[in-house]
Amino acid sequence: MPPRPPDSTDLLRPLASLGRHLPAGFVSAHLVAALEFARHMQWLQPPPQLDGRSFGISIEDLGLRCCFSCRQGRFRPQWHASNTQSMDLEIGARLADFASLARGTMDADTLFFQRRLKISGDTDLGLIVKNWLDATERPAWLSGA
């Protein structure tokens, strides 16, 4: 019997074990830099309801967790958050599912009901974030248009 070709899970497994050992602040700084870039480019303007709230985003297949907050319309990394500290809203999915959300090729409801997007914490805040992201127009280069 010939060996099976590796799938994406096999390829990401070594990265996931490394990702679990990276401090949340280090990982968070990179995501926040991307969010701040999108905000400066006017692609992603946080609504006032996000002010003072904290967020945790877990990229499950990479073993990464990003923790950040929104203060005065700006995204800020949570430098001292641990990998277990809870945030107001926690969102988790695989990297490919987050990419599909960002491109607009998949919606959060579909991923949630397929159990590919996990949400916990403040459900009202989760709905605000979902509606905000759904209403945000994506740049042409991101959506492939």
What tens digit of pLDDT does each residue of 57-73 get?
999 988 888 999 999 99
| 77, 68 Cβ separation under 8 angstroms | yes
Half-sphere exposure of 126 toward its Cβ, with a 13 Å CA cutoff?
Answer: 18
Q: What is the pLDDT of residue 46?
A: 95
94-102 contacts, C-beta under 8 A, 24 or more apart: 94/59, 94/60, 94/61, 95/12, 95/59, 95/61, 95/62, 96/8, 96/61, 98/57, 98/59, 101/133, 102/138, 102/142
Q: Is the pLDDT of residue 103 over 60?
A: yes
Q: What is the pLDDT of residue 142?
A: 73
Q: Is the pLDDT of residue 138 over 90?
A: no
Q: What angle do CA 49, 67, 116 make, to 5 degrees?
A: 85
Integer Cα distance of 53 and 55 in angstroms: 7
Q: What is the pLDDT of residue 90?
A: 95
Q: What is the pLDDT of residue 143?
A: 65
- Give the tokens for residue 49: 């309801």
| 80, 114 Cβ separation under 8 angstroms | no
Q: What is the pLDDT of residue 13?
A: 62
Q: Is the pLDDT of residue 16 over 80?
A: no
Q: What is the pLDDT of residue 141?
A: 76
Edge-to-edge strands of the sheet including 74-77? 74-77, 64-71, 54-59, 89-93, 118-121
Spatial neighbors of 98 by CB under 8 A, at least 6 apart, are 57, 59
Other beta carbons within 10 angstroms of residue 141's beta carbon come to 7
**Mean pLDDT confidence for 128-134:** 90
> Hey, what domains does the chain have and what are their CATH numbers?
10-131 (3.30.1050.10)
Split at pLDDT 50, 70, 90, the class of 136 is confident
